[in-house]
Amino acid sequence: MAEHLIVVMLIDGVSEHYFHKNRHKLPHLDHLARRGTLVNALSPEICGTSLPGRSAILTGVDSSRHGVYGNQLFDPSQGRFRNAHPDDLRVPTVLARAKQAGRQVAAVGFGMAHPRDTQVYIGPWWARDMIRGRHDEMDRHDTIWEQAAGIVDPKNYLAELTALGLDTEFVQVPSDEPGHLIRGTLADQQVVDLVAGLGCSTRRPDLIIAEIGMPDHALHTFGYDSPEAEWSVRLADAQIGTLMMRLREHAVPTNLVILSDHGHMDMQHAINVTALTDLPHSCEGQTILIGNTDPAAMIRVDHALRELHCERWPDHVLPIDAQGSVRLYVAPEGYSFENCADSSQIVVSPSALSTHGLRPGHPRDHRLCLLAGPDIPTGQINASQPGQVTATIAHLLGIDNPLHAFANPLL
């Protein structure tokens, strides 16, 4: 067991801008930022969405190397996009490196973590949404997410928590409101309770990685400056406070790494992709991925998107084997990409009032990132790359940093 516990907690969708704008309402995060190291601009992944963001945290490299360039990936053999999953990662994760080095690793509800890289694994409470209603019959990719939704605990780490009355299985979260908001928030609290329980247990791991997911949903559904989004982020702050209190009560010295996977920004319009093309595509917020299955149709949609002032992004951000078969476009400011099958209008009102996948380099896509604990100095860092966070986790674990050629630790 390492001298100091390391907890990596992702708060989904909270940008650096949102934190600074509302810092006076987030006392626990503010406290950690003042006593630790605050990164003022952690750059996003390309594209800046959930699964690429988590993949970059786990691997320390960008999408051209780790392979997860969108929430969905194009499958040329089937001519369609399908959900990315943990098996799509092409390089070892920091969790795998830690386990290989003899550290005890726990993943609690963290998307894109793989059970084989941990000693104890509890899948994300939202993992079944990745298979629900996608296809008439489950394929192998759906099966991977079904497995990722489970619990893997061969050495019975969770027995001590179960004896204390903690639920290790998350509450079922419906897709409709208000059940999704209420039960999703409860599932997030279960995540925090399980992290605290593991951290305070007699067999505590060296590294626990977890996530609080509902702020992203509230931002999407209600808007960036909505009271509902503020409530969700303030609740996440309170959940962090609960975790800090539990660890402090049990005298567990802890290095906390708190960060987000992407930023957010309000949208005024949405480009209705179904009115433009039948080509396979994945709407990723202000970014879209299009499968180039028909060169003539690709020329037409390219022209249509340029007429709408969309910009094609260079292929080098994609893995080599996706270059040419997939094109990435970015919408103009204030526009997102959506599918509105019941409308023939090309520009419609957005259903997601705030979204991610912003133009690469956009300041609203800079992510929240702060570190605090006995091994963390007090200070600020003006800007950093995602790989530096992964390198820092390796540094705190005292393991070799396999990414030294690409990123240096923040500390």
What's the alpha-carbon Rg for the chain, to the nearest Å? 20
What local confidence, expressed as pLDDT, does residue 156 receive?
97
Domain ranges, residue 274 = 268-351
> To which H or E segment does residue 212 belong?
strand 207-212
What local confidence, expressed as pLDDT, does residue 95 receive?
97
In a domain, 86, yes or no: yes
Residue 351 tokens read as 């259903």
**pTM for the model:** 0.96
What local confidence, expressed as pLDDT, does residue 374 receive?
97
> pLDDT per residue over 370-385, tens digit each?
999 999 999 999 989 8
Contact 37, 371 (CB under 8 A): yes
- Residue identified by tokens 């790494």 is 257
Alpha helices, DSSP H, located in 48-178: 50-59, 63-66, 94-100, 140-148, 159-163
Identify whether residues 309 and 387 lie together within a single domain. Answer: no
Our count of domains for the chain comes to: 2
What local confidence, expressed as pLDDT, does residue 404 receive?
61
Identify whether residues 311 and 391 lie together within a single domain. Answer: no
In a domain, 404, yes or no: no
Encode burial over 333-358: b for 16+ CB neighbours within 10 A, e otherwise.
eebbbbebeeeeebebebebbbbbbb
Identify whether residues 247 and 374 lie together within a single domain. Answer: yes
> pLDDT per residue over 18-60, tens digit each?
999 999 999 999 999 999 999 999 998 888 999 999 999 999 9
What angle in degrees, to the nearest 10, is found between the helix axes of 227-249 and 179-199? Answer: 20
Task: Give CA–CA dist 276/243, Å, rounded.
Answer: 48
In a domain, 402, yes or no: no
Identify whether residues 284 and 136 lie together within a single domain. Answer: no
Query: How many other CB atoms are there within 10 angstroms of residue 227's CB atom?
Result: 10
Residues of the chain with pLDDT under 70: 1-2, 132-137, 402-405
Identify whether residues 193 and 157 lie together within a single domain. Answer: yes
Contact 369, 258 (CB under 8 A): yes
Identify whether residues 71 and 219 lie together within a single domain. Answer: yes
Identify whether residues 319 and 372 lie together within a single domain. Answer: no
Identify whether residues 199 and 303 lie together within a single domain. Answer: no
In a domain, 406, yes or no: no
3-state secondary structure of 112: coil
3-state secondary structure of 53: helix
Identify whether residues 346 and 275 lie together within a single domain. Answer: yes
What local confidence, expressed as pLDDT, does residue 401 receive?
72
Of 401, 398, 390, 391, the closest CA to residue 2 belongs to: 398
Identify whether residues 252 and 319 lie together within a single domain. Answer: no
Identify whether residues 183 and 332 lie together within a single domain. Answer: no
